[in-house]
Amino acid sequence: MMRLRYPIEAPPGRKLRILEYARYSTEEQHPSSITDQFSFCDQFLASTGVKDAHIERISDPEISGELVSRPGIDQVKEGIRTRRWDLLLVEDSGRFFRHETACGEMIEKAVDQGIRVIAINDDVDTAEEDWEDPLHEAMRHHARTNRYTAKRIKRKLDALWRMGAAVGQLRPGYLRKATNPDAEERKKKGPFHDEVDPKWAPVVYGVYERIAKNDPPWHVAQWLTEQGLPKAANAACDSWTDKNVIALIKNQVYRGVEVYRDKIVRKHYGTGEHRLVRNNPKEILNRQVPEMRIVPDWLWYAANKKIEDRTTRNPAPPGIVHPLAGVPRDSREPLSGIFICGVANCGAKMHVDGRREGGYRCSNAARGLCWNKANPLRSLVHRQIGKAITDRLLSLDGTLEAVVDCVRDRMQDDGGRKARLAKLQSEEQQLMTSRNRLLDAIEQAKEPPAVLLERLAKREEDVARVRAEIDRLKAEQALPQQLPSRQQIANKIKEMATQILNMDRDVIPDLRRLAPVIRAVPHQQFGTNQVVLRAVFELRMVALLPDQMHSLLEGSACSLNNTKYMTVPITVDLFERSAGPRYGLEALALKEQGLTLEAIGRRLGIAKRQAHIATTYGAAMAAAGITDPYLELKDALAAASRWRTHPRFKDKATQGTQKNNSATVKHAEAEPALRP
């Protein structure tokens, strides 16, 4: 045990205040280590003759010494600042830190505060003049020990990988089985191997199906949480998130390919933390594990394609330069991602913005890039679109039979499928020939150039994608020929219609399948300069088919997008009509029958004044030869009602938009004083 050249003495008039600090790393997992370290410090004090002292103990169990900030060590730093102790005592300096800079700075601050520091096994005592030298050597030794330990761990993991054993955390959907399950100690039960868990494999398959159908990841995460699929052992919480779902979809182990060291640990010297970073692609290893396959290649690629389509750039730059930086996060709205501006050459998303009650506005309008400033109420938009879709679904009449007959005819027509299959098989053969030539060139070269290796990797990826498409076509042939009956589809429609009518966030997946794009098209009210919006979209009847058919039908040889009965056009007002446009033509017809204004009002359920406005408006429409009081706008109005341009964007907003639609101008000039 260390011998002191300078005795430990108490200050005059009070007891000696001593802090004993202890710590052990997460890797050691020995709780008794804390008690042993404190006992060792007590023995040292007894050997130096210290008997009557006030001793305080602080510890950091199961925390790496490379971390600069830890609960216990932060208390030590604060105690040093307030000169809470006279002596800091530790088994060795590596218990304080395995971070040389941080350890040196803390001990230097203690010395500045007049606090003595002793690291027993390192022979470090700040009462001596040359204490920096033994501390420096001790910290180098502790840091070197950590590096050697890391190399031993890496060597062990490499050996497990080569023998095909499990490496890393257990992934969702798998079981980890021991080679020697009867051994008493866990270390002796290994090595361990992973296998598919039959209980959770269907749930994982369902995740890929839902993402391939374009369900949003956050919605799939909610479903996974309800199903109770276990996450990895080191997960911070049991609930699934959208990021968890995306990570699961991108993991190749579910298609029977295990990847190793795609990310590696790098030390952040400022904090001492070890962080995951992307590894050099040339150093990433992979192995074929067909026994761990849960989903076919075609479904894996289809789901990952949906994830890739969600990004605007690949890879997207992080931080403020990200293309989505500053975009409002309104992705929880039922129309998010499908409700867009209907102005030609715009097509920007309609964001939740403006109005005290909550409204929608073109996201480009706020930046002066679009003249469409119409701002309909959010609640009205949801109600009108939901009611229009629901009414149309519940009155399909003979369309359902046409949909089922069309799908049946397409699925029974194998001609196009066989031709596509033959073409893909020929393409696969050509790619395999090219791949084999590259392999021969690499084997003949003493040191294969990087270009050949990159081309080989590209060929391997092309082969995998072609084979995935071949698997898709073969899977189509295996689809059940018994399609759902009209009653089965009608039941699904009723369930879907109820959800859409409520317009809550859970309806997003159904809406995206039924109406992938809803355009907010600006219209001018006849005889005025008021601009309103109409929603124009088409319902895709293929969304009424069973879920298990979506992944195969979408983008396959059995394309239904251009079929006569596959789409139903819908146009719906996103505003409340006033008396003139609502009752104009009807009131005019009643007046021509000889009814008085009072009688017209009673017949239509409106007041006499409103009946007068309606008949006047109807007469103006009849004179202009129009039946629809709302005319689609192609260009901006020179002076739209209630639209004010901010000076900052005035030049952008008005540039090139002074020319009005000719038909609109003609009608506006015909009745310039009309006010319904």
Q: Which residue has the higher pLDDT, 547 or 115?
A: 115
Q: CB–CB of 676/528 below 8 Å?
A: yes
Cα–Cα separations (whole angstroms), residue 4 to 39, 51, 299: 19, 16, 71
**Mean pLDDT highest for which of 255-269, 387-401, 517-531?**
517-531
Q: Which of 474-483, 513-522, 621-630 has the lowest mean pLDDT?
A: 474-483
Q: CB–CB of 626/603 below 8 Å?
A: no
How many Å from the N-terminal Cα to the C-terminal Cα in the chain? 100
Q: What is the DSSP letter of 484?
A: P
Average pLDDT, integer, range 263-274: 64
pLDDT over 70 for what percent of the chain?
A: 77
pLDDT at 343: 92
Distance (Å, whole) CA 652 – CA 634: 17
Q: CB–CB of 38/20 below 8 Å?
A: yes
pLDDT at 285: 81
The answer to whether the 16-147 and 174-317 domains have the same CATH topology is no
Average pLDDT, integer, range 381-400: 78
Residue 84 has pLDDT above 90, yes or no: yes
Distance (Å, whole) CA 522 – CA 515: 19
**Mean pLDDT highest for which of 27-36, 197-206, 452-461, 497-506?**
197-206
pLDDT at 412: 59
Give the start-to-end residue ranges of the domains of the chain: 16-147, 174-317
Cα–Cα separations (whole angstroms), residue 14 to 81, 86, 329, 499: 20, 11, 62, 76
**Backbone phi, psi, residue 122, to 5°:** -95, 0
- pLDDT band at residue 444, thresholds of 50, 70 and 90? confident
C-alpha torsion angle, residues 200, 234, 160, 183 (rounded to 10): -80
Preceding omega of 181 cis (within 30 degrees of 0): no
pLDDT at 656: 41
* Three-state helix/strand/coil letters over 341-375: ECCCCCCCEEEECCCCCCEEEECCHHHCCCCCCCC
Distance (Å, whole) CA 528 – CA 671: 8
- pLDDT band at residue 615, thresholds of 50, 70 and 90? very high
- Top-level CATH class of 174-317? alpha beta
Q: CB–CB of 2/36 below 8 Å?
A: no
Token reading at 541: 């009847």
Of the candidates 536, 542, 535, the residue with the CA atom closest to the CA atom of residue 558:
542
Show Cβ contacts of residue 557 under 8 Å, excluding neighbours closer than 6 positions. 416, 417, 420, 473, 476
The residue to which tokens 């920007």 are assigned: 348
Cα–Cα separations (whole angstroms), residue 281 to 78, 262, 264, 442: 45, 7, 11, 19
Token reading at 165: 């054993």
Angle at 401 between CA 396 and CA 406, to 5 degrees: 120
Report the mean per-residue pLDDT for the chain. 80
- pLDDT band at residue 415, thresholds of 50, 70 and 90? low
pLDDT over 90 for what percent of the chain?
A: 30
Bridge partners of 196?
A: 174
pLDDT at 80: 94
Residue type, 649: F
Residue 539 has pLDDT above 50, yes or no: yes
Show Cβ contacts of residue 202 under 8 Å, excluding neighbours closer than 6 positions. none
List, for residues 218-263, the tens digit of each pLDDT value.
999 999 999 999 998 778 788 999 999 999 999 999 999 988 877 7
C-alpha torsion angle, residues 63, 66, 68, 69 (rounded to 10): -10
Q: How many residues does the chain have?
A: 676
For the full predicted model, state whether its pTM sits above 0.85. Answer: no
C-alpha torsion angle, residues 221, 226, 227, 232 (rounded to 10): 60
Of the candidates 634, 658, 633, 655, the residue with the CA atom closest to the CA atom of residue 368:
655
- Angle of helix 201-212 relative to helix 217-227, nearest 10 degrees, comes to 160
Residue 666 has pLDDT above 50, yes or no: no
Cα–Cα separations (whole angstroms), residue 54 to 57, 81, 248: 10, 19, 55
Distance (Å, whole) CA 416 – CA 572: 38
List, for residues 94-107, the tens digit of each pLDDT value.
889 887 788 889 99
Q: Which of 46-60, 332-346, 370-384, 636-650 has the lowest mean pLDDT?
A: 636-650
CATH number of 16-147: 3.40.50.1390
pLDDT at 535: 94
Bridge partners of 35?
A: none
